[in-house]
Amino acid sequence: MTDRHLNHRHSRGMLIVAGLALLLFGISIWLGARDRITIGVEGRKVVTIPGPRLSAIPYTHGDTLAVRIAGIEPIPDGFRYDLRYMAYGPGRHNLREYLLDERQQPVSGLPEMSVSVDALLPKGESGQLLETPPTPIDLRTNYRWGIGLLWCLWGLLLLPLFLYGRKPRSRVVVSPPPTIPERLRSLLEHAAHSELTVEQQTDIEKLLLAFWADKLQLPKERLVETLDELRKHPSAGEHVSRVEKWLHSRDARGNGSVARELLASLGWNKQ
């Protein structure tokens, strides 16, 4: 075997030994950290105590140690206790000082049950907070602008969902009410081919008076005076007289010839 191969095997062996040493060192640190009990961390201690059954002193505010019994297992001449404790100060604590007998009195003659609790800070650390100088690194970002842009995009995505499926509002066209000439013409056209009711006859008479009053610009407040003025007018007087004779005759409901003559006289005859 050449020197080159021997050196290679030697180097590989050294690397393996170094790796195992690092592994063992890490395991020892991990085990030590796992077994280390600090302030505010619950610890456990299992002890066997002969004699009657014991209980733990209830915790009161200000005690440096809180002890509870998580489990009790009877054994010959005594009990095995699963003690759980939590310290509020570093140092060594004796758990036997926190046990009571059946009469709720401190127990004498118990074995030593000391536990060690470490502080949260390493030794030599006072816990004083020191002000650090400002960092020269510029940590300012465009976070606010980015969030605002995302909100705007989110709103734009909701817009199609809001508009989807909405039916367009149909525009309601409100027709203006028929004028006096339109109403009069409609009734006369109806009378030319059909019988009139009493209400329709009354409407024809009123609409004819209103039609000529508007056309001649006569006041409508005093019907008697307006009617006298209409009778004096050649066309209006003739129409009023013919309608009165027609509507007050016995055959007023079915006499369509008068209605057709009035339509022709007013220029409303159908082409």
17 and 57, same domain (yes or no): no
Ramachandran bin of 232, using left for φ above 0, alpha for ψ from -120 to 50, beta for the remaining angles: alpha
The total of structural domains in the chain comes to: 3
Burial 154-181 (b: 16+ CB within 10 A, else e): eeeeeeeeeeeeeeeeeeeeeeeeeebe
* Domain-terminating residue out of 93, 117, 141: 117
97 and 74, same domain (yes or no): yes
Residue range of the domain that includes 78: 43-117
Can you give the pLDDT at residue 271?
Answer: 44
Q: Does 30 fall in a domain?
A: yes
22 and 76, same domain (yes or no): no
67 and 108, same domain (yes or no): yes
24 and 53, same domain (yes or no): no
For helices 256-265 and 234-247, give the axis angle rounded to 10 degrees: 170
Report the amino acid identity of residue 231.
Answer: R
What is the Cα–Cα distance from 179 to 185, expressed in whole angstroms?
10
The answer to whether 110 touches 49, Cβ cutoff 8 Å, is yes
60 and 12, same domain (yes or no): no
Q: Name the band, by pLDDT with cuts 50, 70 and 90, for residue 54.
A: very high
Q: Which residue has the higher pLDDT, 135 or 260?
A: 260
The structure tokens listed for 270 are 């159908």
Please give the mean pLDDT across all residues of the chain.
80
242 and 214, same domain (yes or no): yes
> 3-state class of 98 per DSSP?
helix
Q: Does 110 fall in a domain?
A: yes
The answer on pLDDT for 222 being more than 80 is no
- For 32-122, list the strands marked E by DSSP: 43-50, 55-56, 65-75, 78-87, 91-94, 99-100, 114-117
Give tens-digit pLDDT for 94-127: 988 999 988 899 888 888 888 988 887 777 766 6
* Domain-terminating residue out of 117, 145, 166: 117
Q: Which residue has the higher pLDDT, 170 or 179?
A: 179
Can you give the pLDDT at residue 138?
Answer: 62
Average pLDDT over residues 154-160: 80
pTM metric for this prediction:
0.37
The structure tokens listed for 268 are 């409303």
Give tens-digit pLDDT for 7-36: 666 667 677 777 777 777 666 555 554 567
